[in-house]
């Protein structure tokens, strides 16, 4: 479904990706692992259309997406992709419920309709009681769970999770990963997880290991 071929990306004189290829099938959960500086977050961002590779190509269902204009990429990220960042990146002025509803409103849904759908997701994740709170009133685990609901609310085909448990304690991290993977499997959503934690990688169907901007032999197909 989603494929990156021979991706190259540098930041100044530092090579982040040196010809990396990765294919992800519909409904598959893939963990991208490696130490800091290995290029795993850059790979995720290239596949999600957040960063453009300098060489290589990214395709979705055989159609190149790395050559799309900004409007096309924005539409794709709103409608087909969900993204979870390490620290949640919620809008501080909005309540948890409004944060979850935001992608729907960006996609043209009316406010009341969007809030209703968002409330359903918070209820599904057992977060209904925090819907009226703002991010500053939430714990780290709650913020990540709200970010999870926001990433899933549009029914994306692919969710990209960049160190989703990096700022959490062990128990909160396990809850976020359990919710994330269970929900992805139920909805047949492909899931790419960047992590340096073996416990997080264990939730995936397959692990792809990066070192120095390249995939380790035998760790990807």
pLDDT tens digits, one per residue of 143-158? 988 999 999 999 999 9
Total domain count, the chain = 1
What pLDDT sits at residue 126?
86
What pLDDT sits at residue 218?
55
What pLDDT sits at residue 221?
52
Q: Which two tokens stand for residue 148?
A: 């999870």
Q: What is the CATH number of the domain that holds 25?
A: 3.40.50.300
Q: Rounded to the nearest 5°, which phi and psi values hold at 105?
A: -65, -35
On the question of pLDDT at 219 being above 80, the answer is no
What pLDDT sits at residue 85?
86
pLDDT bracket for residue 104 (50, 70, 90): very high
On the question of pLDDT at 190 being above 90, the answer is yes
More confident residue, 87 or 99: 99
In a domain, 221, yes or no: no
In a domain, 220, yes or no: no
Determine if the pTM surpasses 0.75.
Answer: yes
In a domain, 153, yes or no: yes
In a domain, 196, yes or no: yes
In a domain, 65, yes or no: yes
Return mean pLDDT, the chain.
92
Rounded CA-CA distance 160/189 in Å is: 10
Report pLDDT digits (tens) over 120-135.
Answer: 999 988 899 999 999 9
In a domain, 165, yes or no: yes
Report pLDDT digits (tens) over 28-47.
Answer: 999 999 998 899 999 999 99
Rounded CA-CA distance 201/123 in Å is: 27
What pLDDT sits at residue 22?
96
Walk across the sheet containing 190-195 and list its strands.
81-84, 158-162, 190-195, 29-33, 206-211, 214-215
> Which domain range does residue 205 map to?
2-215
In a domain, 10, yes or no: yes
In a domain, 143, yes or no: yes
Q: At what angle do helices 96-106 and 111-124 cross, to 10 degrees?
A: 130
On the question of pLDDT at 197 being above 60, the answer is yes
């Amino acid at each position: 479904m989603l494929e990156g071929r021979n991706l190259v990306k540098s930041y100044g004189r530092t090579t982040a990706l040196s010809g990396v290829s990765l294919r992800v099938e519909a409904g598959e959960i893939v963990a991208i692992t490696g130490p800091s500086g290995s290029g795993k977050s850059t790979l995720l961002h290239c596949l999600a259309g957040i960063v453009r590779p300098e060489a290589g190509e990214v395709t979705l269902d055989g159609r190149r997406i790395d050559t799309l204009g900004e409007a096309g990429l924005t539409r794709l990220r709103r409608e087909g992709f969900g993204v979870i960042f390490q620290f949640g990146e919620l809008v501080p002025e909005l309540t948890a419920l409004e944060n979850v509803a935001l992608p729907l409103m960006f996609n043209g849904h009316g406010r009341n309709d969007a809030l209703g759908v968002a409330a359903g997701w918070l209820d599904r994740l057992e977060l209904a009681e925090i819907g009226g709170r703002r991010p500053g009133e939430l714990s780290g685990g709650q913020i990540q769970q709200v970010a999870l609901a926001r990433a899933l609310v549009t029914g994306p085909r692919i969710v990209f999770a960049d160190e989703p448990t990096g700022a959490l304690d062990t128990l909160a991290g396990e809850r976020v990963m359990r919710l994330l993977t269970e929900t992805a499997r139920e909805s047949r959503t492909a899931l790419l997880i960047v992590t340096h934690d073996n416990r997080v990688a264990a939730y995936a169907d397959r692990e792809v290991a990066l070192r120095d901007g390249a995939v380790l032999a035998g760790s990807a197909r």
